[in-house]
Amino acid sequence: MRALMSTSPAPALAIRGIHKAYGKTVALRGVDFDIARGEFFGLLGPNGAGKSTLISIVAGLVQADAGQVAVLGHDTVSQFRAARRALGVVPQELVFDPFFTVRDMLRIQAGYYGCGRESWPWIDEMLERLDLAGKRDQSMRALSGGMKRRVLIAQALVHRPSVVILDEPTAGVDVELRRTLWAFMTDLHRQGTTVVLTTHYLEEAQELCSRIAILDRGAVQVIEPTAQLLARHPFRFLRIKLADGGQLPEALRPLVSGEVNGAIELKLETGRHPVGSVFEALRSAGLAVEDVHTREPDLEDIFVQLTARDRAGAGA
């Protein structure tokens, strides 16, 4: 852990050589990266990639077979109290304690972290910000799924942690909660909180995260600033609708990436497939174009390309 402590100031999260296997199934194979203080960081990957296992190790719910994690320089095993006080985790599962009201639950959670009555105004503020004020005296068991999710978010923030991990916080929630949550988290991030987000809604990650790691089959496939990640794959999409039900020329068929509402989408590599060459091929074939639309690649395209390539590589 001395190596983790040597940098100054310590990163928000330092993850070093984490290995974890469940029997013969290897969940994480040497995961190693830092998250700087104040980052809004995206941890992405397909189901079974190892994201939740990694988060559980950081949170102290799972023991790594090898490797170390430090939160703000505090080792999560040997200095677990300091590490946990600096960390707030919104778990993926909708868990709650049925014996308590919303306000009791939040005050109890604050108490676990050593926060007394001085935390109550912050609890009231969170209840307002997360639209829970009207539910403060309701039993947890009487809340809807969306409301329970809001309470989970408040619970993770109740001790004002410097590092917040959101494990798929918007899975199955309505648009209103998403907007409320992102507005709240963006505010906290602006005030200096480090936010780590895992989500399957890649547009959220693209919009919010300044840096992204893609985890697949237990290893980090790529870790880059979002803008760099978006720029590293030099292709764009051209969507064309041919007039009079025309058929695409044979030469363009290998470029087809999909079909949307009767329009054909072509994936063009910059430099290799200029847009002009597509129109030239269409004109040569005597085809008229009814409609045309271009689209820059988004995170989803890059995610699919990276994880699909890695799977193909693994299968070879």
Partner 1 sequence: MTPDQIGFTTLLYKEIKRFWSVLGQTVTAPVITALLYLLVFAQAMQGRAMVYPGVSYTEFLVPGLVMMTVIQNAFANTSSSLIQSKIMGNLVFLQMAPLGPLEWFAAYLVAALVRTLLVAAAMLAVTLPFVPLPVAQPLVLLAVFLLSAGSLAAVGMIAGIVSQKFDHIAAFTNFFITPLSFLSGVFYSVHALPAFWYQASHFNPFFYMIDGFRYGFFGHADVPIASSLLWCGGFFGVSAAVCLWMLMTGYKLKK
42 part of the interface to partner 1, by CB under 8 A: no
User: Do residues 86 and 161 make contact, with C-beta atoms less than 8 angstroms apart?
Assistant: yes
User: Is residue 189 a contact residue for partner 1 (CB under 8 A)?
Assistant: no
Q: Which is nearer to partner 1, 53 or 206 (CB)?
A: 53
Q: Give CA–CA dist 157/88, Å, rounded.
A: 6
Position 289 contacts partner 1 (CB under 8 A): no
60 binds partner 1 (CB under 8 A): yes
Number of residues that bind partner 1 (CB under 8 A): 33
Q: How far is the CB of 303 from partner 1 (least distance, A)?
A: 27
Q: Quote the CA–CA distance of 110 and 119 in Å, as a whole number.
A: 7
Closest CA relative to residue 112, chosen from 186, 169, 60:
60
Given CA atoms 94, 98, 101, 104 in this order, what sign does their dihedral have? Answer: negative
* 107-126 positions binding partner 1, by CB under 8 A: 108-116
Instruction: Tell me whether residue 209 is exposed, middle or buried, using C-beta atoms within 10 angstroms of its C-beta: 0 to 12, 13 to 18, 19 or more.
Output: buried
Q: Does 48 bind partner 1 (CB under 8 A)?
A: no
| 13 near partner 1, rule: CB under 8 A | no
Return the residue of 99, 142, 247, 270 that touches partner 1, per CB under 8 A.
Answer: 99
Residue number with CB closer to partner 1 (22 or 311) = 22
Of 155, 193, 206, 307, the one binding partner 1 by CB under 8 A = 155
CA distance 13 to 4: 10
172 sits near partner 1 (criterion: CB under 8 A): no
Residue 20: CB partners within 8 Å, gap ≥ 6? Answer: 26, 27, 28, 50, 53, 57, 62, 64, 65, 218
Residues with Cβ < 8 Å from 124, sequence gap 6 or more? 133
- Smallest gap from residue 75 Cβ to partner 1 (A): 13
The residues of the shown chain that bind partner 1, judged by CB under 8 A, are: 22, 56, 59-63, 80-82, 84-85, 87, 89, 91, 93, 95-100, 104, 108-116, 155
